[in-house]
Structure formats: structure tokens, C-alpha cells
């Protein structure tokens, strides 16, 4: 895209990591309007300056394409701390202290609810006991919500519909008494208060603030894991007021229906949605059709290839020796959904956290592939977590993408190794095996709750994620399966050009090349050469989206 017209912005005297096909590195880049005009030497690019050109001397700093966040939940995260801060809890003692503090300020009989609590992330790697919860808040109703499982105290059980329930989602001890642990299927028994709904303008403000926080970490595009009409309206309203500081793609959850579904029923249901993958524009677009296939690894509800085992039974409270987790869809239920989506041009994906779910999903993908090849649809598996050599080969043959969350490795690899043992942990987040096999790996965080980049559930700092992929180091300081580490270059690809491929946008973003959208960031460190442990502390000093500066910090203009 050679041009003789003066550029609007020129960045010179830096290290421009283009992430193009050759992963070339150059010195300068010129921006005209919302597009990249040219990248090259400082002398060459400097000649494109005019009277109105903003010249930015990088003084050796590194520039990367804007980070594309592959999977997260900004809507719930943005609203999660509107009423009060959610504590960052790392051990049982701090949990009980927080519960006691809440009890001291709440009226007797009120609920104390932690909206996203995983006790497998506690230093002690155990559940709080029912006695501990009761002692901390004897006059209050306690619920620790872990999405696919949770804990309640005795008063909460008495207040709710637990008496004689005999519900399969309730864990019992050897004497037949509830332990306080619940699967999500039993959450409906809880007589919880209705969730307060903030005013629309307040939610709009909260979402705008969170997007600006993302910009601080070089994020310029994101894929939301959950579409709903109100949040889509919010993104459009932010765009109308020139306040949208990230490009948005939203996956669409398949509308739940009771009974056995025929392919014809699914086709009709999907046509009624009035959208399909790729609908929209470069700012707001429709992503894949998505189902929730199983539960979660942190609550013992992910569907594994083998039974969870004795340590999991002790940890989660379910004693069935054949228990492998939960499945929301059988093979015969899922085939018509994926087949209809494939026919109508949808990309397809699934929340799938266990290896048994991975194998089931690949079985379905292979079946549908015989009808209409799926490779061009760029089907994926969100999370996956456990990929065997056999499943990796199948993914490569079908062109299935692995949408992975390194924050889960950082936070949870120690717990999984403790529960599953040295052999099964070998298949947990095998980044290097996936890359070497030619499987497209997409980086994301699954950010859900809290606003801080490093203490959120889950942390959305992409440089922390890149660091853990490069070092295989966990939050507890363990190094697990170091042979599955990847290079800095491959990790950066997962958060840039690979995610552009996942959304069919590789021609317009994901690398710094002439003609592409001018989305990029100036980093506080050289991500390719800085001491490895400083990667996790990188932030953006300047984030550019659509040719405009949306975040400025550090020393770039000093």
C-alpha cells in the first residue's frame, strides 16, 4: 500500500513486530485514517510525514499488533463490582474472615454470596467445611457460587428447599447428611434473593470503563462468550457515542429446547435468530454458535475420559467410583444441532472442559464433516483442557481450533495434578504438542468477575498468559510439563493473528501490514528479548485502535 500522501500518525525508531507470515521485524509504521499505510525503516517511513502528522519517536520501544482476546465475558465482569468490591481470596482463613466481616455489616438472615468462588484455588486445596461456614456466619445464609458447583451453610439449606430433597446434585456424607456442596443442578433449590438490576446507563458506564482497562493491556478486539440483545445494544450505543474502545465479536448460545430435537427443528430455530457467523461489520459482529457441553474442572463436573478418582471424590464430595462429570448433550442430541449449523454457514463451538467432552465433540464433528466439510467453518473447542495425541491428530485433520485459556493453567494446573496424578496431567494444556501438530491455538482468558487484570476470575492480562505458556509456571510457582512450553513468538501469534483467523478477519487485522486496520500497541518491555519473568509485568504504553489513540500511559510522550 505504497503512498505519497502524508500519514496521520507515524511511529519511528522502534521495534515493530509485525506478526506477518515471516514474523518480520522493522523500525517504523505509518497510519493513514484507520489503516496501516506502510511499515519499514525509519528513514523510509519518516518521509511520509506532513505538517499535520503526529510523529511518535519510540526510542527503541516495541510495537505489536493489537491483542485480540479470544474468549471472555466482559459484560458480567463489568457489572460484577458495581455494588462492592469482590475480595481476592487465596486461602480458607481469608475466606472465613471475609464471611465474618460480611456478617458484621449485614442484617441477620441476609445472604452472604460470593459470585464466583473456587475452593480448588485455595492454598489448602480443600472445601471449607460446613462447620467452618456455620461458625463464620451462624445467623446468615452463605452461598459460594462456583458456576458449576458451590457451597452453602446449614442456615442456607434450612431456608431453602433441602429437607428430604434426595437431589442428585446434593453431596451427602457417609451418614446421609448434606455436606454443603452442590452441583449446579441443585442451585434451583436455593431461595436466593433476586439479583439487583442496575440502570442501563450505569451498566453502559461500567462496560466502557472495563473496555478502557483492557486497552491498558494492549487489547483492541475481543470475543464475548455470550450474546444477548441488551449487551449488543450497549456495544452499539458505545459505538454511536464514539466510546467503543474495542472491536467486539459475540458467540450465540444455541437456544435451549426441551425434548429430542430433529435437524429440521434446529434449522428452523437457527433461521429465526436472524443472524449467522460473520454478520455485522469490523466493529460488532456475530461469532460462532455455541453450546454448553459439560461442567467445569474446578467443581468436578467436567466430563473426563476416565472417572475422576478418589482424590476428587474426597475434594468434591461425590463418592460414585464411576463418576466422570456431567454432560448436557448426548451424541444423538448434538449431531442435529451441529449439522444444521454447518448447513446454514455457522461456525460452531462448545464450552467443553473435560477430555471426555473433547472426544464426544470430535465424534460429532467427524460425523457432520461427512455431510459438508467443516474445515472452512473453523469449528473450535472452547477450553478443552485435556488433549491427547489422538485428539490432536483428529483436530488437525478436521481443522478444529483450540480456544484455550492459559489463565486456567496458571491458576489450576497444580490442583489438576494433585487430583488426577502425574500421568493424566501430561495432557493438560499441551500447547507445544498442539502447535507442532499444526492445530490453530487461540489465546483467551475467560475473564468473568472482578476488574483487576491480575486478580480477576480469571486474569485477563495477556502478558501473564504469555509468560505462563512460555515458562509453564503456575501461580504456586510449580513448573508443570515444561516440554509443553511454546516460544514467545508462537504465544504472541495466539493472541494476534491466530485469533484473527478464528473470526475470519485475518485479512483485516492480527498483524501490522499495509492495508490492515490500524490496531496496535507500544509495550513497556520488548516481549521477545526481555528477561522472561518480566513478560508478565508488561503493559501497553500506547494503544491505538482504528488509527486513534485510546490509551496512553508510561513514558511514551515524555
Tell me the three cell numbers of residue 364: 460429532
DSSP 322: T
What is the per-residue pLDDT for 259?
Answer: 63
DSSP type of residue 517: B
Q: Distance between CA 106 and CA 87 in Å, rounded?
A: 16
Contact indicator for 462, 470 with CB cutoff of 8 Å: no
Q: Which residues pair with 150 in a beta bridge?
A: 145, 182
DSSP state of 530: S
Q: Give the predicted TM-score (pTM) of the model.
A: 0.94
- Give pLDDT tens digits for 481-537: 999 999 999 999 999 999 999 999 999 999 999 999 999 999 999 999 999 999 999
**What domains lie within the chain, and their CATH numbers?**
84-189 (3.10.310.70), 253-502 (3.20.20.140)
What is the rounded radius of gyration, in angstroms, for the C-alpha atoms of the chain? 24
Per-residue pLDDT reduced to its tens digit, 147-172 = 888 999 999 999 987 766 678 888 88
Burial profile 38-66: b = 16 or more Cβ within 10 angstroms, e = fewer: bbbebeebbebbeeebeebebeebbbbbb
Q: With helix as H, strand as E and coil as C, how does 123-140 read?
A: CCCCCCCHHHHHHHCCCC
pLDDT lower than 50: segments of the chain? none
How many residues belong to the chain? 558
Rounded CA-CA distance 236/382 in Å is 26
For Cα atoms 327, 328, 333, give the angle at the middle one, nearest 5 degrees: 110
pLDDT given for residue 163 in this prediction: 62
Nearest by Cα to 501 from 554, 455, 445, 442: 442
3 state DSSP class of 404: strand
Which pLDDT score is estimated for 558?
Answer: 61
497 C-beta neighbours (distance < 10 Å), count: 24
The pLDDT score that the predictor gives to residue 5 is: 86
d(CA 474, CA 379): 29
- Read off the C-alpha cell for 412: 489450576
Instruction: Determine the pLDDT at residue 161.
Output: 78
User: Which three-class secondary structure state does DSSP give residue 395?
Assistant: helix
Spatial separation of the C-alpha atoms in residues 69 and 213, rounded to whole Å:
13
Amino acid at each position: 500500500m505504497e503512498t505519497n500522501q502524508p500519514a496521520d500518525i507515524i511511529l519511528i525508531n522502534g521495534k515493530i513486530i509485525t506478526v506477518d507470515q515471516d514474523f518480520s521485524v522493522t523500525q517504523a509504521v505509518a497510519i493513514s485514517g484507520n489503516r496501516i499505510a506502510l511499515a519499514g525503516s525509519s528513514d523510509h517511513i519518516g518521509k511520509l510525514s506532513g505538517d499535520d502528522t503526529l510523529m511518535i519517536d519510540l526510542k527503541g520501544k516495541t510495537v505489536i499488533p493489537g491483542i485480540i482476546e479470544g474468549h471472555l465475558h466482559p459484560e458480567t465482569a463489568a457489572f460484577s463490582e458495581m455494588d462492592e468490591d469482590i475480595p481476592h481470596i487465596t486461602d480458607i482463613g481469608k475466606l472465613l474472615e471475609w464471611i465474618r466481616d460480611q456478617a458484621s455489616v449485614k442484617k441477620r438472615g441476609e445472604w452472604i454470596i460470593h459470585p464466583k468462588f473456587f475452593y480448588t484455588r485455595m492454598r489448602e486445596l480443600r472445601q471449607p467445611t460446613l462447620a467452618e461456614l456455620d461458625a463464620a456466619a451462624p445467623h446468615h445464609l452463605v452461598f459460594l457460587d462456583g458456576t458449576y458447583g458451590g457451597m452453602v451453610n446449614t442456615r442456607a439449606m434450612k431456608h431453602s428447599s433441602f429437607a428430604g430433597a434426595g437431589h442428585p446434585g446434593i453431596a451427602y456424607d457417609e451418614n446421609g447428611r448434606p455436606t454443603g456442596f452442590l452441583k449446579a443442578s441443585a442451585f434451583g433449590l436455593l431461595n436466593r434473593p433476586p439479583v439487583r438490576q442496575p440502570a442501563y446507563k450505569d451498566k453502559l458506564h461500567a462496560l466502557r470503563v472495563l473496555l478502557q482497562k483492557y486497552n491498558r493491556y494492549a487489547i483492541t478486539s475481543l470475543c464475548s462468550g455470550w450474546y444477548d440483545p441488551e449487551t449488543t445494544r450497549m456495544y452499539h450505543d458505545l459505538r454511536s457515542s464514539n466510546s467503543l474502545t474495542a472491536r467486539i465479536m459475540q458467540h450465540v448460545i444455541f437456544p435451549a429446547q426441551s425434548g429430542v430435537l430433529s435437524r429440521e427443528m434446529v434449522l428452523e430455530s437457527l433461521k429465526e435468530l436472524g443472524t449467522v457467523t460473520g454478520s455485522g461489520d469490523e466493529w460488532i459482529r456475530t461469532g460462532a454458535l455455541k453450546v454448553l457441553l459439560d461442567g467445569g474442572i474446578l467443581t468436578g463436573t467436567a466430563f473426563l475420559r476416565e472417572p475422576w478418582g478418589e482424590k476428587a471424590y474426597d475434594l468434591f464430595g461425590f463418592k460414585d467410583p464411576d463418576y466422570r462429570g456431567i454432560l448436557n448433550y448426548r451424541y444423538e442430541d448434538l449431531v442435529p444441532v451441529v449439522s444444521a449449523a454447518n448447513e446454514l454457514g455457522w461456525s460452531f463451538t462448545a464450552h467443553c472442559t473435560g477430555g471426555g467432552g473433547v472426544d464426544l465433540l470430535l465424534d460429532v464433528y467427524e460425523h457432520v464433516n461427512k455431510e459438508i466439510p467443516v474445515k472452512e467453518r473453523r469449528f473450535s473447542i472452547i477450553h478443552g483442557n485435556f488433549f491427547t495425541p489422538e485428539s490432536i491428530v483428529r483436530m488437525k485433520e478436521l481443522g478444529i481450533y483450540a480456544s484455550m485459556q492459559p489463565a486456567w493453567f496458571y491458576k489450576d494446573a497444580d490442583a489438576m495434578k494433585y487430583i488426577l496424578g502425574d500421568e493424566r496431567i501430561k495432557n493438560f494444556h499441551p500447547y507445544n504438542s498442539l502447535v507442532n501438530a499444526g492445530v490453530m491455538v487461540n489465546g483467551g482468558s475467560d475473564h468473568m468477575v472482578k476488574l483487576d487484570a491480575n486478580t480477576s476470575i480469571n486474569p485477563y492480562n495477556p502478558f501473564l498468559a504469555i509468560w505462563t505458556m512460555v515458562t509453564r509456571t503456575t501461580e504456586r510457582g510449580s513448573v508443570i510439563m515444561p516440554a509443553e512450553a511454546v516460544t514467545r513468538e508462537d504465544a504472541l501469534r495466539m493472541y494476534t493473528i491466530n485469533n484473527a483467523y478464528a473470526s475470519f478477519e485475518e485479512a483485516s487485522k492480527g498483524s501490522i501490514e499495509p492495508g490492515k486496520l490500524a490496531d496496535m500497541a507500544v509495550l513497556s518491555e520488548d516481549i521477545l528479548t526481555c528477561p522472561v519473568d518480566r513478560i508478565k509485568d508488561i503493559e501497553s504504553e500506547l494503544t491505538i485502535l482504528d488509527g486513534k489513540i485510546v490509551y496512553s500511559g508510561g513514558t511514551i510522550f515524555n
